[in-house]
Amino acid sequence: MSSFEEKFLKKINDRKAVVAVVGLGYVGLPLALSFAEVGFQVLGLDVDADKVKKIAKRESYIGHISNDRLKAADKLFSASSDFQLAEEADALIICVPTPLTRHREPDLSFVEGTLAALLDRLKPGQLLSLESTTYPGTTEEILRPPIEAKGLTVGEDFFLVYSPEREDPANPDFQTQTIPKVLGGATESSTRVGLALYGQVVDRMVPVSSTRAAELTKLLENIYRAVNIGLVNELKVVADSMGLDINEVINAAATKPFGYTPFYPGPGIGGHCIPIDPFYLTWKARAYGLHTRFIELAGEVNASMPAYVVGKISRALNEQAKPLKGAKILLLGMAYKKNVEDMRESPSLEVLKLLLEAGCEVEYSDPHVPKMPKTRRGAFELKSVALTADKLAAFDAVVLLTDHRAFDKAFIRQHARLLVDTRGVFPPGPGVVKA
């Protein structure tokens, strides 16, 4: 054990280590607060000046994180856009986005930009951890060479790990502390230091043999979800053509106590992981001469769901002698999942786009998204409307896309003339169309 490792472990055990979290979004902010809540001095770094200002005012910009939680961490947690402050940190944790390019290839520009901003501030005795989802080899191929080119020796005077985030925003059953955390180090000493640090805020650490194993673990988790959602989305179309309710079938199958895990269909997939992460592996697999057909097929099925929903709306209106063009449509829920404000890659946006292209008059209601922000699919000048009896009755079709808890389902069912349900939450009956 090197003297650097001994000193680092003592700082961690004494909770004297300064932790810097780079990227204060849905992953970085709760992680930063978790470290502060157990007594570490925490510095949040983010290029978004608005986030920094809100943290200074103890105003949360994430729905499931309260202002009180920010206030409670007041003395131990601060935020800045000045990356020179990274010199003060013992541990640097990168939690920045890893999107796709328009050609559906990995975009590591945020990771690379963050490393470039930190590189001149790195020094012996520090730990660098990457949490952003990425392909196997990123930590060793993208992060390690520039660090060692500075004269730092990974495993001796510098420590490098990959530990993927596992946040599930707005899920009250799981918090940072209670979600087991996978970690792989570039060296054995890096693994020991990384486990010691994260073990201060996470109940169960899961070490793996390498950073590449940890990177693939994260991809497997999300690909598993993407493939199974693709399967039930395809079965939804089959069941519908047979006059069957796929949610009834899934719930019946879920009573089997072994060999089956229920997944539920919807208007597509969204969020920062499920629609994106599979393409990181398919891209890397091509370097090995492999074609991930199963994964790509699931992606095609899920990507086709918004068009399927619009087709169901069109057919339902046609049954009432009403064309899609010119129809007044109300969309319920623009966030990608229920009870959050996160709209990244939300399939609701694609449904909105397709309906507008078809000549519909579209409005939306979402208690978590009062005003439509600028998105990758464009800027929609829309604001959320309140759900009143008259408002619901004024639309030719009301389409449930995201089943927020705040929606009064009975009230909606009572006043909507035509209800298109993409989440299977309304019982079948006159005026209800499953999509």
Contact 195, 183 (CB under 8 A): yes
CATH number for the domain formed by residue range(s) 220-303: 1.10.1040.10
Average pLDDT of the residues of the chain: 95
pLDDT digits (tens, 9 = 90+) for 112-134: 999 999 999 999 999 999 999 99
The residue ranges of every structural domain in the chain are 3-209, 220-303, 306-435
For the chain, counts of helices (H) and of strands (E):
16, 13
Q: Does the pLDDT at position 215 exceed 80?
A: yes
pLDDT digits (tens, 9 = 90+) for 270-322: 988 888 888 899 999 999 999 999 999 999 999 999 999 999 999 999 999 99
Q: Does the pLDDT at position 21 exceed 80?
A: yes
pLDDT digits (tens, 9 = 90+) for 184-207: 999 999 999 999 999 999 999 999
Residues 269, 64: Cα–Cα separation, whole Å: 21
Question: Would you state the pLDDT for residue 103?
Answer: 83
Active-site annotation, residues: 273
Neighbours of 56 (CB within 10 A): 12
Residue 85 banded pLDDT, cuts 50, 70, 90: very high
Question: Would you state the pLDDT for residue 375?
Answer: 67
For 306-435, the fitting CATH number among 3.40.50.720, 2.60.40.1190, 3.40.50.1110, 3.90.1150.10 is 3.40.50.720
Question: Would you state the pLDDT for residue 377?
Answer: 62
Q: Does the pLDDT at position 400 exceed 80?
A: yes
Q: Does the pLDDT at position 170 exceed 90?
A: no
Question: Would you state the pLDDT for residue 376?
Answer: 65
The mean pLDDT of 378-389, rounded to a whole number, is: 88
Task: Indicate the burial class of 197 (C-beta count within 10 angstroms; 0-12, 13-18, 19 or more).
Answer: buried
DSSP-derived pairing of the beta strands 432-434 and 419-421: parallel
pLDDT digits (tens, 9 = 90+) for 250-275: 999 999 999 999 999 999 999 888 88
Question: Would you state the pLDDT for residue 243?
Answer: 94
User: What residues contact 56, with CB distance under 8 A and at least 6 apart?
Assistant: 78, 79
Question: Would you state the pLDDT for residue 167?
Answer: 85
Q: Which of helix, strand or coil describes residue 241? A: helix
DSSP-derived pairing of the beta strands 41-45 and 18-22: parallel
To the question of pTM greater than 0.85 for the whole model, the response is yes
The mean pLDDT of 141-152, rounded to a whole number, is: 97
For 3-209, the fitting CATH number among 3.30.43.10, 3.30.300.160, 2.60.40.1250, 3.40.50.720 is 3.40.50.720
Residues 316, 324: Cα–Cα separation, whole Å: 9
Question: Would you state the pLDDT for residue 378?
Answer: 65
3-209 and 306-435 share one fold: yes
What would the two tokens of residue 321 be?
């002698």
pLDDT digits (tens, 9 = 90+) for 317-374: 999 999 999 999 999 999 999 999 999 899 999 999 999 999 999 999 999 999 988 7
Residues 134, 97: Cα–Cα separation, whole Å: 10
CA distances for 125 relative to 1, 11, 19, 90, angstroms? 13, 11, 13, 7
User: What residues contact 251, with CB distance under 8 A and at least 6 apart?
Assistant: 262
